[in-house]
Amino acid sequence: MTEPFYSLSISQLAPLLARGEVSPVEVTEQFLERIGQRNQEINAYLTVDADGARAQARDAEARLRRGEGALLTGIPLALKDVLATRGLRTTCASRILENFIPPYDATVCVRLREAGAVFLGKANMDEFAMGSSTENSAFGPTHNPWRRDRIPGGSSGGSAAAVAADLCTASLGSDTGGSIRQPASHCGVVGLKPTYGRVSRYGLVAYASSLDQIGPLSKEVRDAAVLLQAIAGFDPQDSTSVPEPVPDYLEALGREIRGLKVGVPQEYFGEGLDPEVRDAVEAALKTLASLGAELVEVSLPHSEYAVATYYVVAVAEASSNLARYDGVKYGLRMKGRNLMEMYYNTRAQGFGAEVRRRIMLGTYALSAGYYEAYYKKASQVRMLIRRDFDAAFKKCAVIAAPVTPTPAFRIGEKIDDPLTMYLSDIFTISVNLAGIPGISVPCGFSSSGLPIGLQILGPPLGEPVVLQTAHAFEQATDFHLRKPDF
């Protein structure tokens, strides 16, 4: 074995562990050493749980010796710091939760522990998942492993950067408006946002409850399928989880896509799309066609209203969800001469500027006299966007489109221009509003060597056909095999 273990995918590492050619303890130690040497450069991790990871690795080793291993037994993972982890601090990259240690695990963490995975630590993110660049973290931005002066995307930027930089084998992120797919595109990795309700949100610190969804970031499509298989399924602790059986996602990967209809939405190829992104995505469409897929034009006419709709629905829900951080029950508590002053001081000093902005926008949208003008109207437009996708999927099996309008921009370039920053999610937001699955798979590079992603979308619970199409494209190209010079 000449390659270091940290450079391997789940599908490459799992057989070595199963055959006893390497031990989970050895692999985990190699990752911890690499994190110690390299994390400072990109700030992908907020918390590294070395002792916990070693204990889980020893447990995985014992399982493998007993012949009780599974595909994830001994596999080192990173978790976005928005997922509750029992006994390990969960900060949401916010001062208000800087020292918060949950007494329970999120359901996805429970399922990964049961599968024998090893948790290396908690990954950096935009505070409370509010952002597109991981610059809004209270603990400093994450840097893109491909170019340290560029953003990694957000809000799951730490999760994507950790995978790209070989600081974990794979990771979990959350996606409210593109927060898995957009950083996956910018970091040259695979990122899957499942159907709303396919994966339990129990233990996910809420941003916008009707939009949030947990999903994997990985080095290849097969790994994303393995992780989804482990975390998907009904959970009685999450009333929005879907009580539908989980199919065999790996079984879908071997199928060819000859005759598969791939929709191309013209609204996603208009003004504002960087020419290099357009060229890479159009080349990817030609690759799909060369594999026998049939490209068909579809229309998503209400796409132009998606950003406005999202930034009413999401901030309104955030305003409600973040009301719990008041200095009374848990988290940061600042002193005040009375209860109102304590509330004010706690929230003013605990929340960053972007979180405060979104809370105020959401509170305004929900206030008396404005609810019908804003939140109700946005909810109606959201339904129109959902119907656009329903109509499109009557003509095609999947939709292929860009993930982001541009490659990764420079750190600090857009931080003072919220509207421009919000527009960087223009191609991903509709997917969350409609609740459908989507994946980002590497499809090219800009002239300056920055990764570009192809987005493949499917109908509700259409993860098998999304994975099938993404895998077929991936196997016909080598973009996913390229690594940053890190």
Q: Which residues are catalytic?
A: 80, 155, 179
- Sequential DSSP letters for 442-485: EEEE-TTS-EEEEEEE-STT-HHHHHHHHHHHHHT--GGG----
Residue whose C-alpha is closest to residue 129's, from 170, 182, 166, 168: 182
The dihedral sign for the CA sequence 167, 249, 298, 289: positive
Strands 398-402 and 451-457: antiparallel
Which residues have C-beta within 8 Å of that of residue 307, sequence separation ≥ 6? 422, 423, 425, 426, 429
- Residue 256: both structure tokens together: 């060819």
Q: How many helices (H) and strands (E) does the chain have?
A: 15, 11
Sheet holding 45-48, edge to edge: 45-48, 118-123, 76-80, 170-174, 214-218, 190-193, 438-445, 451-457, 398-402, 261-265, 294-298
Task: Give the side-chain half-sphere CA count within 13 A for 58.
Answer: 5
Cα distances (angstroms) measured from residue 143 to each of 33, 58, 256: 20, 32, 37
Residue whose C-alpha is closest to residue 440's, from 455, 459, 458, 428: 455
Cα distances (angstroms) measured from residue 70 to each of 60, 64, 112, 156, 267: 10, 8, 11, 27, 43
Q: Which residues pair with 147 in a beta bridge?
A: 144
Letter for the amino acid at 72?
L
DSSP 144: B
Q: In whole angstroms, what is the distance from residue 295 CA to residue 462 CA?
A: 18
Residue whose C-alpha is closest to residue 450's, from 386, 394, 406: 406
Q: What is the 3-state secondary structure (H, E, C) of 282-335?
A: HHHHHHHHHCCCEEEEECCCCHHHHHHHHHHHHHHHHHHHHHHCCCCCCCCCCC
Which residues have C-beta within 8 Å of that of residue 195, sequence separation ≥ 6? 213, 242, 435, 436, 437, 460, 461, 462, 463
Q: What share of the chain is helix, strand, coil (3-state, %, to 5)?
A: 45, 15, 40
Residue 122's H or E segment, with its range, is strand 118-123
